[in-house]
Amino acid sequence: MAAVAMNTEKARFNMIQQQIRPWEVLDPGVLALLSVVKREQFVPAAHKDLAFADVEIPLKANAQPGQTMLAPRVEARFLQELAIKNTDKVLEIGTGSGYMAALLAAKAEFVNSVEIDPELVELARRNLQRAGVANVSVDQGDGALGWDLYAPYDAIIVSASLPVLPETLLRQLKIGGRLVAIVGEEPVMEAQLVKRTDENAFSTVNLFETVVAPLVNAQQPSKFLF
pLDDT, residue 60, reads 85
CATH topology of domain 2-210: Rossmann fold (3.40.50)
pLDDT, residue 221, reads 82
Task: Give the residue ranges of the chain where pLDDT is below 70.
Answer: 1-5, 63, 223-226
pLDDT, residue 199, reads 94
pLDDT, residue 219, reads 87
What are the backbone dihedrals phi and psi of residue 103, each rounded to the nearest 5 degrees, phi first? -65, -45
pLDDT, residue 169, reads 96
Q: Residue 66 half-sphere exposure, CB side, CA atoms within 13 Å?
A: 19
Domain residue ranges of the chain, discontinuous segments joined by + = 2-210
pLDDT, residue 63, reads 67
pTM here? 0.94
The sign of the torsion formed by the CA atoms of 218, 25, 20, 114 equals: negative
Q: Name every residue whose Cβ is closer than 8 Å to that of residue 212 and which is 6 or more positions away in sequence.
A: 56, 66, 70, 74, 160, 161, 182, 189
